[in-house]
Structure 1
Amino acid sequence: MSNLVSVPKNGSLTNTNSNSNFPTLSNWLDDIFNRDLPSVFTSNFNTGITLPKVNIKETADAFMVEMAVPGLKKSDFQIDLDNQVLSISTETKEEKEQKGENYTRREFGYSSFKRTFNLPESVNDESINASYLDGILSIVLPKKEEAKQKPVRSIKVL
């Protein structure tokens, strides 16, 4: 006597005795590779610090760059301008050592980042200034006089 197997419209064969609670190897691998990577893989491995977020705002007179980088000192920043490219970077190292009667504990920490921005020709690169307050690095990029927006004026028809 032969057993007939019903074939669904999509053409796949199904086993009615299978336990659907156990994932197949392909489903398990798909699950691993299709989910988001843990934040430990998308951040700095040593410290968990990610690339700092930046806000850029334009006014009539300047561009303003604000970067959230709490926990640093003013002296930790290196800001360079080279060929209309603004580079903001920092590198911090920390070493701790604790000695006990039967042990020595050492911890090393390292974090760094570098962000670069291509500046428009309208920036007056001689007047750029930066400040650091309450974890926010602020950089003001003043515009050249000819690039500043002029106020609206009315023209009379003669």
Structure 2
Amino acid sequence: MMKSLIPVGRDSSLARTEANPLARLQQEMDRLFDGFSRSFAGLSSRTLMPSMDLAETDKEIELTAELPGMEEKDVQLNVVDNHLTIRGEKKNQREEKEKDYHLVERAYGSFVRTVELPPGVNLDSIKAVMSKGVLKVTVPKPAPAQAKTIEVKTAA
């Protein structure tokens, strides 16, 4: 589950803020220390979970995933047992030489998303294109199953 990007202090009561002029300062200090302690607890290096759209037309299934800051080489697609799996890793490439970070909100890490495909998909016809941090996977739908009547004959 993704945490909200809006930092919230321990006490978000608006009534208390109006009654006590120092309450706002206390809330900001709580927010600052909560964020600071979270980074030491390892929550700042959370798993990246990309947003994804899944659409369908008469002829194909289209999956679009937002992968900002990632390139084609960072993403891998596999299909096993009618399950399309997208794996990727966004690496942290900042230099820490002379910077003291007070707030880190950008997500780095690896992710895995899996989508079930309908049976009968031709795996060779799946196409994936990545442009400006957006991955678009197109899966042609299999032809509908055709019923065939089989004549029953008398045994000789």
TM range (shorter): 0.5 to 0.7
Identity of aligned residues (%): 29
8 Å Cα contact 1:63-1:141 kept in structure 2: yes
Query: Of 81, 84, 90, which residue of structure 2 is paired with 1:83?
Result: 81
Please point out which of 139, 142, 145 is paired with 2:140.
142
Residue 61 of structure 2 aligns with which residue?
Answer: 63
Residues 69-148 of structure 1 mapped to structure 2, 5 A cutoff: 69-97=67-95, 110-146=108-144
What is the TM-score with the length of structure 2 in the denominator?
0.53
Supply the distance in 2 between the matched residues of 1:66 and 1:83 (Cα, whole angstroms): 21
**Residues of 2 paired with 1:96 and 1:52: CA distance?**
21
- Whose strand proportion is higher, 1 or 2? 1
Distance change (3 Å), C-alpha of 1:98 and 1:146: closer
Q: 1:95 to 1:59 in 2, by over 3 A?
A: closer
Distance in 1 (CA, whole Å) between partners of 2:124 and 2:95 is: 45
What is the Cα deviation at residue 110 of structure 1?
Answer: 4.3
Report Cα offsets for 1:101-144 as digits up to 9, x if no partner: xxx7799x841111011111142222101001122110000012
Q: TM-score if structure 1 supplies the norm length?
A: 0.53
Deviation per CA, 1:18-63, whole angstroms, max 9, x where unpaired? xxx8xxxxxxxxxxxxxxxxxx88xx93356751111111111110
Letter in 1 for 2:85: S
Distance 1:52 1:98, change over 3 A: closer
Long gaps (5+) in structure 1: 1-20, 22-39, 148-158
Kindly name which structure, 1 or 2, has the bigger radius of gyration based on alpha carbons: 1
C-alpha separation in 2, matches of 1:92 and 1:69: 9
- SS, match of residue 46 in structure 1: helix
CA contact (8 A) 2:52 2:64 kept: yes
Unaligned runs of 5+ in 2: 1-15, 17-34, 102-106, 146-156
Secondary structure of the corresponding residue to residue 44 of structure 2: coil
Cα RMSD over matched residues? 3.2
Q: Identify the structure with bigger relative contact order (alpha carbons < 8 Å, sequence gap 6+).
A: 2
